[in-house]
Amino acid sequence: MSIKGKAYIAGIYEHPLREGTGKTVPQLHAEVAKGALEDAGLHKNDIDAYYCAGDVPGMGGINQAEYMGLKLRQIDSTETGGSSYVLHVRHAAQAIAAGHCKVALITLAGRPRADAKENYSMRPGGGAPADYGFEAPFRPSIVNMYAMVAKRHMHEFGTTSAQLAWVKVAASQHAQHNPHALLRDVVTVEDVLNSPVVSDPLHRLDCCVMTDGGGAIIMVAPEIAKSLKRPRIRVLGAGEAPKHLNGGKVDLTYSGALWSGADAFAEAGVKPSDIKYASIYDSFTITVVVTLEDLGFCAKGKGGAFVADGNLISGVGKLPFNTDGGGLCNNHPSDRGGITKVIEAVRQVRGEAHPKVQVPNCNLVLAHGTGGLLGSRMGSATVILDREDA
């Protein structure tokens, strides 16, 4: 698809300041955003895509999106130095041409002169995001920021630790067939419940492994795919959505998967009940339960019952998941499991998963990634794949 004539620049703003004393970097980003919006005659709630680079503090653009109160369908923090923002124009045009967003914001801001005068350390990322000072003193950790999601889920919906444990049990059933899995021992619900509590209600076996390594993916144009002697796996639909604390209107019962999944299913023109296999990001057992609900595999609050009794085990349950053993048993390279989610989904839709876990007639699969902290700010991404030559 060409972007020719399919996207327009509607607003611009150059900050009049030349020294940013008294202003923070997130504040400067918001000021230029406000200026460009006013130039365009648009409101910040019209924005559905955000592009930024390494000058924005935090995890990609998510902390800045939170600062500005943005609700996004597209986020891109590609960093190529000073050229980033030109490249962002192209990326935004591609997204607009594809119908993935309608109003894209690109920002650049910083205060190197003020930083030098005030003896702030100069470092990539532009210093701390605005939320940092209000959270770090209370010692958030990766585990307790997911544990609080589990605690609230249990309070609102009656979810139990035994139900969460079934997610780990299913992953371990799959991992026993993966010679590369870090943990190959099959575990029971009791094993999970009897493992030490790390941050209640999460036990050690509710948590994913830590591993080194990694993964890679090659994507090609249709004509190249046809020239190769490999199954032709198509991206049918995709969605992405950051989620944050929304100015203090906190609701931890759902994740960004609610939005990224809806976009992916709509683009693919399929529904959750059509999916034969799902790779679901499993940093913790609760991550899977919340994500399955948000993607529509079951109703909100019913995720605990959905995952229980082996429903995620290949050959046993209705929704085989993470047949490589997932992050809970197999691999979570560099503390980031997104790529292994796509890789196992491709193995399944190619029919190249381990025979003990291969889903029969597996012609439609989903992979979902969760980044950051489910208990504060996070990124969600969903892809739906099929096999063209099946």
Partner 1 sequence: MSDATTKTAPRSKIRAPRINDESRPFWEATTRGELLVKHCTACGENHYFPRTFCPFCFSDATEWLKCSGRGTIYTYSVTRRGEPYAIAYVTLAEGPTMLTNLIDCDFDKLAVGQAVKVKFVDTGEGSALPFFVPG
Shortest Cβ distance from residue 133 to partner 1 (Å)?
A: 4
For residue 174, which amino acid is it?
H
Report, in this order, helix, strand and coil percent for the chain, each rounded to 5.
40, 15, 45
Separation of alpha carbons 174 and 159, rounded Å: 24
User: 2: burial class by Cβ within 10 Å (0-12, 13-18, 19+)?
Assistant: exposed
* Cα–Cα–Cα angle for 325, 381, 281, rounded to 5 degrees: 20
Q: At what angle do helices 142-157 and 285-295 cross, to 10 degrees?
A: 50
Instruction: Please confirm whether the linkage preceding 179 is cis (ω < 30° from 0).
Output: no
Please name the residues in contact with 123: beta carbons below 8 A apart, sequence gap of 6 or more.
none
Shortest Cβ distance from residue 12 to partner 1 (Å)?
A: 18
Q: Which of 27, 34, 10 is nearest to 92 (CA)?
A: 10
Shortest Cβ distance from residue 216 to partner 1 (Å)?
A: 34
Shortest Cβ distance from residue 91 to partner 1 (Å)?
A: 24
Given the complex with partner 1, which of 140 and 333 has the nearer CB atom? 140
Question: What does the binding site for partner 1 look like in residue numbers (CB under 8 A)?
Answer: 22-24, 26-27, 30, 34, 37, 43-45, 66-69, 128, 130-141, 143-145, 147-152, 155, 196-202, 245-250, 252, 376
Given the complex with partner 1, which of 38 and 190 has the nearer CB atom? 38
Shortest Cβ distance from residue 155 to partner 1 (Å)?
A: 4
Given the complex with partner 1, which of 93 and 114 has the nearer CB atom? 114
The CA dihedral of 243, 347, 187, 301, to the nearest 10 degrees, is 30
Shortest Cβ distance from residue 296 to partner 1 (Å)?
A: 24
Given the complex with partner 1, which of 19 and 389 has the nearer CB atom? 19
Separation of alpha carbons 110 and 49, rounded Å: 21
Given the complex with partner 1, which of 148 and 365 has the nearer CB atom? 148
Q: Is 122 helix (H, G, I), strand (E, B) or coil?
A: coil
Q: What's the token pair of residue 380?
A: 């969600």
- As a residue count, the chain comes to 390
Given the complex with partner 1, which of 251 and 388 has the nearer CB atom? 251
Given the complex with partner 1, which of 206 and 267 has the nearer CB atom? 206
Shortest Cβ distance from residue 125 to partner 1 (Å)?
A: 14
Shortest Cβ distance from residue 69 to partner 1 (Å)?
A: 3
Given the complex with partner 1, which of 142 and 175 has the nearer CB atom? 142
